């Protein structure tokens, strides 16, 4: 029995430095516990629903283990996956209280009919957002006419720390019923592109179909 205990201790090399750093299979530990080898944990519990478990272990190329918070992980993943949000309703007029969140932005129709955006989180400093817009319009019939198309490039809106709603469709050609606006929007320093469509179509009986679609790539 004594032989087994001694041989078990000799299987790995244990080093304790003057800085109270413990090394297993290494004589030069660089952290409180430095393991040069594999790690096995036999029993773990599912804590997905427990808000106190908010940290996810991460490792760098040198094997250093630290953590990200759950929100850190969600924020990082947001830049990787495609977001698709849609709203449509038939009403006599636009409803500014109906908001479509999409990535860093929120979108809505304002009264009178006008596409607007703002940020989900107010910026800490004023910034400029650039976009391109394709518009197809026919305010008198139920179809879009090829002669009523326009393209606007290198457009911009200024977003302030007050995070107020700003128009993104106002120009010489007013946004109205039977109009399709397609926007390509980028956030400063972000790798994502937002494709946002605002569509209004006559629904009859004095109603209009208001649709907003946002795709984040």
- pLDDT 10s digits, 76-105: 766 556 667 788 888 888 889 999 999 899
Per-residue CA distances from 73 to 56, 58, 68, 86, 189 (Å): 8, 10, 7, 25, 19
Per-residue CA distances from 74 to 84, 99, 151, 192 (Å): 17, 22, 35, 15
CB-CB neighbours of 96 under 10 Å: 13
Confidence of residue 175 (pLDDT cuts 50, 70, 90): low
Q: pLDDT averaged over the chain?
A: 82
**Residue 70: pLDDT above 60?**
yes
Element (H, E) at 190: none
Q: What is the pLDDT of residue 18?
A: 67
- How far apart, in whole angstroms, are the C-alpha atoms of residue 52 and residue 130? 40
**Structural contact between residues 214 and 196, judged by C-beta atoms closer than 8 angstroms:** yes
pTM as predicted: 0.63
**Residue 63: pLDDT above 80?**
yes
| Average pLDDT of span 35-43 | 85
Q: What is the pLDDT of residue 166?
A: 94
Helix intervals (H) in 11-111 = 70-78
- How far apart, in whole angstroms, are the C-alpha atoms of residue 194 and residue 207? 29
**Residue 6: pLDDT above 70?**
no
| Average pLDDT of span 173-199 | 85
Q: Is 125 exposed, middle or buried (0-12, 13-18, 19+ CB in 10 A)?
A: exposed
Confidence of residue 138 (pLDDT cuts 50, 70, 90): low
Confidence of residue 4 (pLDDT cuts 50, 70, 90): very low
Alpha-carbon Rg for the chain in angstroms: 28
Confidence of residue 137 (pLDDT cuts 50, 70, 90): confident
- How far apart, in whole angstroms, are the C-alpha atoms of residue 212 and residue 47? 37
CB-CB neighbours of 25 under 10 Å: 13
């Amino acid at each position: 029995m004594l032989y087994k205990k001694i041989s078990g201790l000799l299987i790995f090399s244990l080093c304790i430095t003057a800085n109270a750093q413990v090394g297993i299979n290494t004589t030069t530990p660089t952290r409180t516990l430095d393991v040069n080898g594999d790690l096995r944990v036999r029993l773990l519990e599912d804590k997905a629903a427990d808000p106190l478990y908010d940290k996810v272990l991460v490792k760098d190329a040198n094997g250093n283990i630290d953590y990200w918070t759950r929100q850190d992980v969600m924020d990082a993943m947001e830049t990787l996956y495609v977001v698709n949000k849609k709203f449509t309703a038939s009403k006599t007029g636009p409803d500014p209280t109906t908001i479509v969140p999409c990535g860093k932005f929120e979108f809505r129709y304002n009264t009178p009919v006008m596409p607007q955006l703002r940020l989900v989180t107010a910026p800490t400093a004023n910034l400029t957002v650039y976009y391109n817009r394709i518009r197809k319009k026919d305010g008198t019939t139920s179809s879009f006419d090829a002669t009523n198309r326009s393209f606007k490039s290198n457009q911009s809106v200024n977003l302030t720390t007050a995070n107020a709603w700003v128009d993104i469709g106002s120009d010489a050609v007013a946004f109205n019923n039977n109009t399709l606006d397609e926007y390509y929007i980028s956030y400063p320093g972000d790798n994502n592109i937002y494709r946002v469509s605002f569509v209004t179509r006559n629904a009859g009986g004095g109603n209009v179909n208001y649709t907003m679609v946002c795709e984040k790539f």
